Chain A
Amino acid sequence: MSLLVITVGLFSLGLYGVLTRRDLVAILASIEVMLGSATLLLVGLAAVGTPMGSHEGAVEATGVMVIVLAAAEAAVGLALVISVARRFKTTRVDELTEVKG
């Protein structure tokens, strides 16, 4: 119960941040909170005794894969942020109205 409330609460908090933040770096940080809480729930479900825990090694391997994906997402996301900041001189999403490259 407490595991579920903490992880889903953190995920919702990150979602609220993604929806309300107006700066690209802050949006990326909120996405990291969402990814972190999802990994936490994944590993936590195995730890509290759901059937996921019976597959030895698979849970940790899945956790490692999620961490790798999150790192890749952060690398591409931050590269895009820096590229946008160079080109448009801002990272505020309100001011980024052009779709054309």
Chain B
Amino acid sequence: MTLESVVFAILGVVAVSGGVVTVFARDVSRMAMGLGAFLVAVAGFFVYWGATFLGVVQLFVYIGGVLVLMIFAIMLVHRSPDGSPLLETRHDVAALAVAGGLFFLVVASLLDVVPDSVDQGIASGPAELNEAFLGPMLTHFEMGGVLLLAVLVAVVVILGGDER
């Protein structure tokens, strides 16, 4: 067993356990911590594959932005004076069948396409990313900017609408 496979296994275990805690935890703060562990593991995978810049963006945007935003939302929305479990999960056989069916369908259809962990890594860095964004993906870049502006306006309208 090489060091690479050990790192891959550790990242996989952290990602899966973080996902399980996010989906099944009854306590909101534990759910947020599970989501944090999952997102850190995803950033770790990016760094492991050589996409260091993407890993850093993942850390900044997700851990620094989305997760903190989510914790703020939890603090604003969830108030439990009696300390009882806040989150309810209604386990359902139909939901399990849908999720499990999707899992087997996608894995069975992609099994032949994805090679067995022949890790070549991602050779591109920020320079290639810059060339892609200012070259063939310029429209995506511009649309991303427009989308973020629209989101900013939408959030102000949604949250400011109640006070009018």
Residues on A lying within 8 angstroms of B by beta carbon are: 1-6, 8-17, 19-26, 28-30, 32-33, 36-37, 39-40, 43-50, 53, 56-65, 67-72, 74-76, 78-83, 85-87, 91-92
Assess whether B124 is in contact with A13, with CB atoms less than 8 Å apart.
no
With both chains docked as a complex, state the minimum distance between the C-beta of A49 and any C-beta of chain B, in angstroms.
5
Complex alpha-carbon distance, A47 and B122, angstroms: 5
Question: Which residues does chain A contribute within 8 Å of B58, judged by CB atoms?
Answer: 39, 67
Complex alpha-carbon distance, A67 and B39, angstroms: 11
Complex alpha-carbon distance, A45 and B51, angstroms: 12
Complex alpha-carbon distance, A15 and B111, angstroms: 21
Assess whether B89 is in contact with A22, with CB atoms less than 8 Å apart.
yes
Query: B-side binding surface: helix, strand, loop or mixed?
Result: helix
Question: Which residues does chain A contribute within 8 Å of B133, judged by CB atoms?
Answer: 57, 61, 64
Given contacts A16-B99, A20-B89, A60-B132, contact A75 B54 (CB under 8 A): no
Q: Which of B104-142 contact A (CB under 8 A)?
A: 106-107, 110-111, 113-124, 128-133, 136-137, 140
Q: Which of A4, A46, A65, A80 contacts B122 (CB 8 A)?
A: A46
- At the interface, yes or no: B3 with Cβ under 8 Å from chain A? no
With both chains docked as a complex, state the minimum distance between the C-beta of B14 and any C-beta of chain A, in angstroms.
11
B127: nearest chain-A partner, CB-CB: A57
Q: Nearest 5 A-B pairs (CB), nearest first?
A: A57-B128, A57-B132, A17-B23, A19-B95, A47-B49
Contact sample, A vs B, 24 pairs, CB 8 Å cutoff: A1-B111, A4-B111, A9-B103, A11-B103, A12-B103, A13-B16, A13-B20, A17-B23, A22-B89, A43-B46, A43-B49, A44-B49, A48-B117, A49-B118, A57-B131, A63-B57, A64-B129, A68-B147, A69-B144, A71-B61, A72-B151, A74-B65, A76-B158, A81-B77
